[in-house]
């Protein structure tokens, strides 16, 4: 019940196609563009251009550090926590054995992605001689959004919210990695790591979509009624996070710019979402709502309406 066809394990595909099974270690060499310049708007600001290539490359190095730190933390602190609960069938909705089996492949993959990300960080320290500004205890926008909601919930409602948040996250990560791979002039090691990650995430995203669809079909209507009001708050908190701007501020301060110059660069670079429906203009929200449509969350009374009018 919940899926259109019986669930079929992806074990055979994982055994032959997962990165941990077949990919060699990515080696970081001294190059420019350690992070896609198109993804770091600071680098195209006229002030930064005047500072020259060395400053721009420094910004990209710090951005790569932060990206990899976020990957390592999200995979271990968020995704694998949920995958372990599925593997152990520890949630109040019980999954078929094949879904539990595939959860173990997710755990292996995500731990490997975290390992590769941290290995990339350590290699970058050696190759560039530049230390990361990112705090190892710093929380990602996803983690902050989850922590904003989860402590206010209890029992099955908290369980449901946390699992749905993870399913949303896997969807968003896959789209973000796909967008990165379309960009030009990327560092070869960064491209290799991201390409391997994307290949695995495509499988993970499909898996978690099936988990969400199955789980939602078994969920009590009383819990769904409460999630109607919780999920839009979570998604808005995730989308509208200012963590990117805060980290950019930290980068600019490390370049010893004046407060006036820093404020001007940030004002020119980061824009708040204007009036209108955030969920209709944000690419992340559009992808999440497409996932909700596919998994029938929007069929629940009030769910479609609350995202339409928010």
Q: Which residues contact 248 (CB under 8 A, 6 or more apart)?
A: 42, 266, 269, 270
- Rounded to a whole number of angstroms, the CA Rg of the chain reads 20
Kindly report, residue by residue over 71-96, the tens digit of the pLDDT.
Answer: 999 999 999 999 999 999 999 999 99
pLDDT band at 260 (very low <50, low <70, confident <90, very high): very high
Tell me the whole-structure pTM to 2 decimals. 0.88
Domains of the chain: 32-309 (1.10.620.20)
Kindly report, residue by residue over 147-174, the tens digit of the pLDDT.
Answer: 999 999 999 999 999 999 999 999 999 9
* Distance from the first to the final alpha carbon of the chain: 32
Kindly report, residue by residue over 201-243, the tens digit of the pLDDT.
Answer: 989 999 999 999 999 999 999 999 999 999 999 999 998 878 8
Which pLDDT score, from 0 to 100, does residue 51 have?
93
Q: Tell me how crowded residue 254 is: count the other CB atoms within 10 A of its CB.
A: 13
Q: Which residues contact 293 (CB under 8 A, 6 or more apart)?
A: none
Assess contact for 62 and 82: CB atoms under 8 A.
no
Tokens representing 84 are 């372990």
């Amino acid at each position: 019940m919940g899926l259109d066809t019986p669930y079929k394990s992806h074990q055979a595909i994982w055994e032959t196609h997962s990165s941990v099974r077949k990919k060699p270690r990515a080696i970081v060499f001294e190059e420019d563009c350690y992070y896609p310049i198109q993804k770091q708007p600071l680098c195209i600001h006229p002030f930064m251009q005047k500072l020259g290539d060395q400053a721009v490359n420094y910004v990209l190095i710090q951005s790569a550090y932060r990206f990899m730190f976020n990957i390592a933390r999200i995979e271990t602190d968020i995704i694998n926590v949920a995958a372990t609960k599925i593997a152990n069938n520890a949630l109040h909705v019980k999954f078929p054995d094949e879904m539990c089996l595939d959860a173990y492949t997710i755990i292996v993959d995500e731990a490997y992605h975290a390992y590769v990300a941290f290995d990339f960080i350590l290699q970058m320290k050696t190759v560039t001689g530049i230390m990361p500004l990112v705090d190892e205890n710093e929380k990602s926008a996803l983690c902050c959004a989850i922590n904003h909601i989860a402590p206010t919930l209890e029992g099955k409602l908290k369980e449901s919210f946390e699992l749905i948040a993870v399913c949303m996250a896997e969807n968003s990560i896959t789209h973000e990695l796909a967008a990165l791979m379309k960009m030009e002039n990327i560092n070869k090691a960064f491209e290799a790591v991201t390409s391997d990650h994307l290949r695995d995430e495509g499988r993970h995203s499909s898996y978690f979509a099936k988990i969400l669809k199955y789980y939602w079909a078994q969920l009590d209507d009383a819990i769904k009624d409460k999630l109607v009001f919780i999920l839009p708050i979570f998604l808005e908190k995730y989308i509208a996070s200012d963590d990117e701007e805060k980290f950019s501020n930290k980068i600019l301060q490390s370049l010893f710019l004046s407060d006036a110059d820093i404020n001007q660069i940030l004002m020119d670079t980061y824009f708040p979402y204007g009036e209108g429906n955030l969920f209709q203009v944000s690419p992340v929200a559009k992808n999440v709502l497409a996932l909700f449509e596919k998994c029938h969350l929007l069929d629940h009374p009030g769910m479609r309406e609350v995202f339409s009018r928010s």
